[in-house]
C-alpha cells in the first residue's frame, strides 16, 4: 500500500468528510458554516433509513468518503475486500460456534493486549453475553460489566446480573437520572451527524452514566452492537423475498390505505399494511433497510429515487450483487455502524474512552458476508447462542429478549417532546420544507391524549424531532 493510501472499513463509525477544497475532517460541521445549505437528500435518507447514506452529509458541498473503499487523498482507488472470508455455513453447529469463539478471541486479544480491565456494556442478551463469555474464557477476570437498569423491577437487568454472576465477572448496575428530552437539548454539539433511533434516550443516559462511573480512567469499552446485523438477518431476508412475490395490485392497495388511514392505528392490520407499502414503493434493498414507509405521508418523497440509487451503488460497490450479502452489508454498515453505534460513541469518547465493536471488525464482517448467502439458520444468531450456551444455563440464552428502549415510551408523551414535534413544521424550521404539516400536528394531538402509536410511526416522529434539533444546534459550542 502506498504511504498516502488508506482504507475506510465498511463499518466505519466515525466518518471522513471533505469539502470542495479537499479538506478532510471527521465532523462535517467543521467543514460547513451557518450559511451552508441543508442537503435534502440527507434529510430524506435520515427520515427513511435512520442514517445519512454516504457520500451524503448534512450539508450541500460537504461529502463523505465511502466506507468500504480504499482512497488516495480523496480519490477512490478500490473497494476493501471483506467478502472472501471463511464460509462457516456448511459446518455443523458445534464447529460454527468454535469459529465464532475463534474470531472473537482473536479480536479481543488484539485490542485488549496487556490491559486487564476492559469494560463491557452489558444487557445480558446474546450480543453482549457472548463477549462476556469470551472475556471469562480468556481469563480477563478484571473485566467490568456495566448494566443500565430501567428501574428496581427491571427483569432484564436482573437476568443480566445472574448471567454475570454465573460467568464470575464483576457486575455493576447504573441508572439514568436525566429527563427524557435531555438528549434533545444540544444534539448538534454532541453528534457528528443526525440519525434516527429513539433508544437514543436511554443509550445517551447510559453513556453519561458510564462516563461518570469511570471518571477519568480512560478505559477500553466493549459494545456488542452489530451481532444482529452480522448473524441475525436470515429470517428477515426470507420474509422480504416472499413479499416481493405478492401481486403488485395487492401491495399498492394496502400502501394507499396505510398512508391515508392506518399509519396511526396499532395492530396486525397496521403491521401488514406497512410491510406491503414498503414492498410496493421501494426497491428490495431499501424496503428491507427502511425504518418506516411514511414518505409521501409525513415527509416529501421527491428525493426517493436518488437516495435509493446511492444506497445500491455504495453497498453493491464493495459487497457484490448477491441480495442476502447486500442486506447484511447494508445493515452492518448503515443501520448498526451509522445509527446504533452513534447513540453512545461520541459521549464515551468525549470522556476519554476507547470504544471497540468486535462485530464491526474485519474477521466478523468477512465471516458473516461470506456465509450469509448459503446460510439457513434454525434461528437468528444460532452459532452465537450455541457458543454462549456452553458457558451459561440454557434458559439464559434461549429466551425472548426485549429491546433497549424504555418500555413505557414516556419520552413521546412528554410535553417538551410534543412541543419540539410541533415546532418542526413551523416555516422557519430547518427541515420544515421536507415535512407535511397535517400529520405532524395530528401526531401532536394524539400524543397529547396519551394515544399509543405504532412502532414505525414513532421511529419516524423521533427522527423528525432529533434531526430538527440537530440542525438547530449544529454550530453550538460543545
We report the CATH number of the domain holding residue 372 as: 3.40.50.620
Clarify whether residues 25 and 132 are in a common domain: no
How far is the CA of 163 from the CAs of 129, 156, 222, 387, in angstroms?
8, 11, 17, 14
Q: If you average pLDDT over residues 417-432, what whole number do you get?
A: 96
Are residue 221 and residue 347 in the same domain, yes or no?
yes
- Residue 241 lies inside a defined structural domain of this protein: no
Q: What residue numbers bound the domain in which 252 lies?
A: 246-318
Domain annotation covers residue 405 = no
Q: Quick one: what percent of the chain has pLDDT higher than 70?
A: 97
Residue 391 shares a structural domain with residue 261:
no
Residue 403 lies in a domain: no
Among 318, 345, 379, residue at a domain's last position: 318
The model's confidence at residue 400, banded by pLDDT at 50, 70 and 90, is confident
Which pLDDT tens digit goes with each residue over 176-224? 767 889 999 999 999 999 999 999 998 999 999 999 999 878 899 999 9
CA distance 448 to 442: 10
Whether residue 16 is predicted with pLDDT greater than 60 in this model: the reply is yes
Same domain membership, residue 173 and residue 219: yes
pLDDT computed for residue 3 by the predictor: 45
- The pLDDT of residue 180 is 81
Higher pLDDT, 177 or 153: 153
Q: Where are the alpha helices (DSSP H) in 14-140?
A: 40-49, 93-112, 126-137
Query: Considering the domain boundaries, does residue 402 fall inside one?
Result: no
Mean pLDDT to the nearest integer, 350-379: 89
- Asked if residue 478 has pLDDT above 50, the reply is no
Grid cell listed for 116:
486487564
pLDDT band at 154 (very low <50, low <70, confident <90, very high): confident
Confidence of residue 244 (pLDDT cuts 50, 70, 90): confident
| pLDDT in the model for residue 155 | 85
Residue 236 within any structural domain of the chain: no
Last residue of a domain, one of 372, 397, 422: 397
C-alpha cell at 91: 459446518
On whether both 338 and 367 belong to a single domain, the answer is: yes
Cα 283 to chain center, whole Å? 21
For 32-50, what is the mean pLDDT? Answer: 96
Q: Which of 96-100, 101-105, 129-133, 409-413 has the least mean pLDDT?
A: 409-413
pLDDT digits (tens, 9 = 90+) for 272-314: 999 999 999 999 999 999 999 999 999 999 999 999 999 999 9
Share of the chain above pLDDT 90, in %: 80
Q: What is the mean pLDDT of residues 22-26?
A: 92
pLDDT at site 328: 95
What mean pLDDT is predicted for residues 431-437? 97
The answer on 181 and 108 residing in a single domain is yes
Is residue 323 included in any domain, yes or no? no
Question: Distance between CA 298 and CA 311 in Å, rounded?
Answer: 22
Q: Is the pLDDT of residue 99 over 80?
A: yes
pLDDT band at 62 (very low <50, low <70, confident <90, very high): very high
Do 116 and 210 belong together in one domain?
yes
Question: Among 460, 225, 458, which residue's Cα sits nearest to residue 359?
Answer: 225
* 126 and 190 fall within a common domain: yes
The domain tally of the chain equals: 4
| Domain membership flag for residue 238 | no
120 lies in the same domain as 193? yes
Sequence-distant (6+) residues with CB within 8 A of 285 are 311, 312, 315, 323, 326, 327, 330
Q: How confident is the model at residue 408 (pLDDT cuts 50, 70, 90)?
A: low
3-class state of residue 8 by DSSP? strand
- The band of 77, judged by pLDDT with boundaries at 50, 70 and 90, is very high
**Looking at the domain assignment, is residue 459 inside a domain?**
yes
Q: Which of 47, 79, 111 is the last residue of a domain?
A: 79
H-type helices in 377-423, by residue range?
A: 382-389, 394-397, 415-423
| Region 148-158 average pLDDT | 84
Q: Are 207 and 355 within one domain? A: yes
Residues 131 and 206 in one domain: yes
Residues 9 and 59 occupy one common structural domain? yes
Nine cell digits for residue 72: 488516495
Contact 276, 308 (CB under 8 A): no
Q: How far is CA 393 from the centre of its chain?
A: 29
Amino acid at each position: 500500500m502506498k504511504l498516502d493510501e488508506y482504507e475506510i472499513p465498511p463499518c466505519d463509525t466515525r466518518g471522513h468528510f471533505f469539502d470542495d477544497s479537499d479538506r478532510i475532517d471527521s465532523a462535517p460541521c467543521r467543514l460547513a458554516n451557518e450559511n451552508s445549505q441543508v442537503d435534502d437528500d440527507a434529510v430524506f435518507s435520515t427520515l427513511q433509513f435512520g442514517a445519512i447514506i454516504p457520500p451524503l452529509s448534512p450539508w450541500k458541498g460537504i461529502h463523505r468518503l465511502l466506507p468500504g473503499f480504499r482512497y488516495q487523498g480523496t480519490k477512490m482507488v478500490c473497494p476493501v475486500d471483506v467478502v472472501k472470508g471463511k464460509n462457516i455455513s456448511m459446518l455443523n453447529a458445534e464447529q460454527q460456534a468454535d469459529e465464532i469463539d475463534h474470531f472473537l478471541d482473536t479480536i479481543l486479544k488484539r485490542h485488549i493486549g496487556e490491559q486487564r480491565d476492559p469494560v463491557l456494556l452489558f444487557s445480558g442478551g446474546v450480543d453482549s453475553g457472548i463477549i462476556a463469555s469470551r472475556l471469562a474464557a480468556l481469563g480477563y477476570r478484571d473485566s467490568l460489566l456495566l448494566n443500565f437498569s430501567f428501574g428496581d423491577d427491571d427483569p432484564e437487568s436482573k437476568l443480566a446480573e445472574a448471567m454475570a454472576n454465573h460467568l464470575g465477572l464483576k457486575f455493576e448496575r447504573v441508572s439514568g437520572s436525566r429527563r427524557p428530552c435531555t438528549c434533545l437539548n444540544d444534539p448538534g454539539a454532541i453528534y457528528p451527524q443526525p440519525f434516527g433511533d429513539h433508544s437514543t434516550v436511554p443509550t445517551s443516559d447510559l453513556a453519561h452514566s458510564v462516563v461518570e462511573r469511570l471518571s477519568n480512567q480512560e478505559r477500553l469499552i466493549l459494545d456488542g452492537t452489530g451481532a444482529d446485523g452480522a448473524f441475525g438477518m436470515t429470517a428477515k431476508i426470507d420474509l422480504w423475498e416472499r413479499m416481493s412475490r405478492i401481486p403488485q395490485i395487492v401491495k399498492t392497495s394496502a400502501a394507499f390505505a396505510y398512508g391515508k388511514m392506518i399509519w396511526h392505528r396499532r395492530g396486525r392490520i397496521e403491521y401488514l399494511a406497512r410491510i406491503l407499502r414498503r414492498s410496493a414503493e421501494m426497491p428490495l434493498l431499501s424496503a428491507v433497510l427502511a425504518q418506516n414507509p411514511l414518505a409521501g405521508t409525513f415527509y416529501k418523497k421527491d428525493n426517493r429515487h436518488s437516495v435509493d440509487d446511492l444506497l445500491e451503488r455504495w453497498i453493491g460497490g464493495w459487497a457484490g450483487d448477491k441480495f442476502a450479502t447486500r442486506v447484511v452489508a447494508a445493515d452492518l454498515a448503515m443501520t448498526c455502524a451509522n445509527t446504533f453505534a452513534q447513540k453512545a460513541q461520541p459521549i464515551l469518547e468525549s470522556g476519554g474512552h476507547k470504544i471497540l465493536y468486535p462485530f464491526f471488525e474485519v474477521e466478523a464482517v468477512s465471516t458473516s458476508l461470506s456465509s450469509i448467502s448459503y446460510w439457513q439458520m434454525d434461528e437468528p444468531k444460532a452459532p452465537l447462542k450455541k457458543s454462549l450456551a456452553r458457558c451459561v444455563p440454557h434458559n439464559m440464552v434461549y429466551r425472548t429478549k426485549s429491546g433497549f428502549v424504555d418500555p413505557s415510551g414516556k419520552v413521546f408523551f412528554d410535553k417538551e417532546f410534543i412541543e419540539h414535534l410541533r415546532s418542526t413544521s413551523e416555516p422557519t424550521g430547518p427541515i420544515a420544507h421536507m415535512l407535511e404539516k397535517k400529520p405532524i400536528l395530528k401526531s401532536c394531538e394524539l400524543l397529547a391524549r396519551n394515544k399509543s402509536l405504532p412502532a414505525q410511526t414513532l421511529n419516524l416522529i423521533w427522527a423528525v424531532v432529533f434531526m430538527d434539533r440537530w440542525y438547530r444546534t449544529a454550530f453550538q459550542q460543545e
